[in-house]
């Protein structure tokens, strides 16, 4: 069985420069990640090489056309015809700003996809991706996922992980944030998420056993929250060096709910 680790979560924003400014005002060190074909991103990196990805559409001339296509459902129609990971990523553009998606890391993405398939969870073909860092270096990886937006997508590095998640005095956040403590996933069907996570984390799962409501991935707790109409994909609890639990200003996080929780 291949090892599965938590990698990152994704927050979708309308303007990357504004997002960098606002998250910096909240006490995070925000590092520019680079550019993909249609998007640009920035990272809030922690010491264990997990991170929050802040992603936005690039400001090309046809950006308003893409947003309009998303609004009237054309992008979802186009995505539905895909049989690979782009089925999921195209849908990012159709979502509201804020908490968008989350990702697990593996050293063998095909093995992880096969674990899902063995448990009768439909999967999509993996795809290779890359982005250009501000220093010109090219970072490469593969992404894979099930055909279920409630389950995480998967990443396998093809270049050294230090290129994708560069740590250079950028993990000492002035707000005291140390890293992920808990991710609360909101869904109409938490049992479906539990079944999928069990397939990824325990390929020999006992199907007759009651499915758990929480999972531990390393030191990070994944908690499932049943909601009839989820407002967002997830909320976060970050460990920090302070002594009082507090919630960050959601106006500055574009609606993403992020709690700072004492590291005890």
What pLDDT, on a 0 to 100 scale, did the predictor assign at position 220?
Answer: 96
What pLDDT, on a 0 to 100 scale, did the predictor assign at position 166?
Answer: 87
Q: pLDDT, tens digit, for every residue of 38-87? A: 899 999 999 999 999 999 998 877 778 888 888 888 888 888 899 999 99
The 10 Å CB-count burial string (b at 16+, else e) for 7-33 is bbbbbbbeebeebbebbbebebbbbeb
Q: For residue 155, what are the domain limits?
A: 4-262
CATH number where 157 lies:
3.10.180.10
Tokens representing residue 148 in the block: 């279920």
Residue 191 neighbours by CB distance under 10 Å: 13
What pLDDT, on a 0 to 100 scale, did the predictor assign at position 17?
Answer: 96
What pLDDT, on a 0 to 100 scale, did the predictor assign at position 36?
Answer: 81
Say if CB 11 and CB 110 are below 8 A apart: no
What pLDDT, on a 0 to 100 scale, did the predictor assign at position 208?
Answer: 56
What pLDDT, on a 0 to 100 scale, did the predictor assign at position 161?
Answer: 94
Largest CA distance in the chain: 54
Which residues sit opposite 39 in a β-bridge?
57
Which residues of the chain are under the pLDDT cut of 70? 1-2, 203-209
Residue 182, Cα to own-chain centre: how many angstroms? 13
Total of domains in the chain? 1
Nearest Cα to Cα of residue 171 among 79, 262, 241: 241
Say if CB 56 and CB 15 are below 8 A apart: yes
What pLDDT, on a 0 to 100 scale, did the predictor assign at position 1?
Answer: 55
Question: How far, in Å, are 162, 217, 228 from residue 167 at the CA level?
Answer: 7, 22, 40
What pLDDT, on a 0 to 100 scale, did the predictor assign at position 16?
Answer: 97
What pLDDT, on a 0 to 100 scale, did the predictor assign at position 212?
Answer: 82
| Nearest-angstrom CA–CA distance, 77 and 71 | 12
Tokens representing residue 62 in the block: 């046809």
């Amino acid at each position: 069985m291949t090892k599965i680790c938590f990698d990152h979560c994704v927050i979708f924003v309308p303007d990357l420069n504004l997002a960098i400014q606002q998250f910096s005002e909240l006490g995070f060190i925000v590092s520019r990640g680079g550019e993909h074909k249609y998007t640009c991103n920035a990272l809030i990196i922690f010491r264990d090489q997990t991170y929050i990805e802040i992603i936005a559409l690039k400001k090309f001339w046809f950006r308003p056309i893409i947003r309009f296509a998303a609004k009237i459902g054309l992008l979802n129609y186009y995505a539905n015809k895909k049989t690979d990971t782009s089925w999921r990523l195209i849908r990012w553009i159709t979502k509201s700003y804020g908490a968008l998606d989350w990702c697990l890391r593996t050293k063998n993405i095909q093995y992880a996809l096969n674990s899902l398939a063995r448990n009768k969870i439909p999967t999509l073909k993996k795809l290779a991706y890359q982005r250009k860092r501000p220093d010109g270096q090219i970072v490469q990886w593969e992404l894979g996922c099930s055909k279920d937006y409630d389950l995480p997508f998967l990443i396998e590095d093809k270049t050294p992980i230090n290129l994708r998640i560069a740590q250079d005095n950028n993990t000492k956040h002035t707000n005291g944030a140390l890293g992920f403590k808990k991710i609360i996933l909101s869904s109409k069907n938490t049992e479906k998420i539990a079944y999928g996570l069990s397939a990824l984390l325990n390929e020999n799962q006992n199907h007759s056993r009651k499915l758990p409501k929480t999972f531990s991935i390393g030191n990070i707790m994944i908690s499932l929250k049943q909601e009839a109409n989820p407002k967002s994909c997830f909320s976060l609890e970050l460990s920090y060096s302070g002594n009082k639990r507090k919630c960050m200003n959601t106006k500055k996080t574009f609606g993403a709910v992020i709690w700072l929780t004492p590291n005890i």
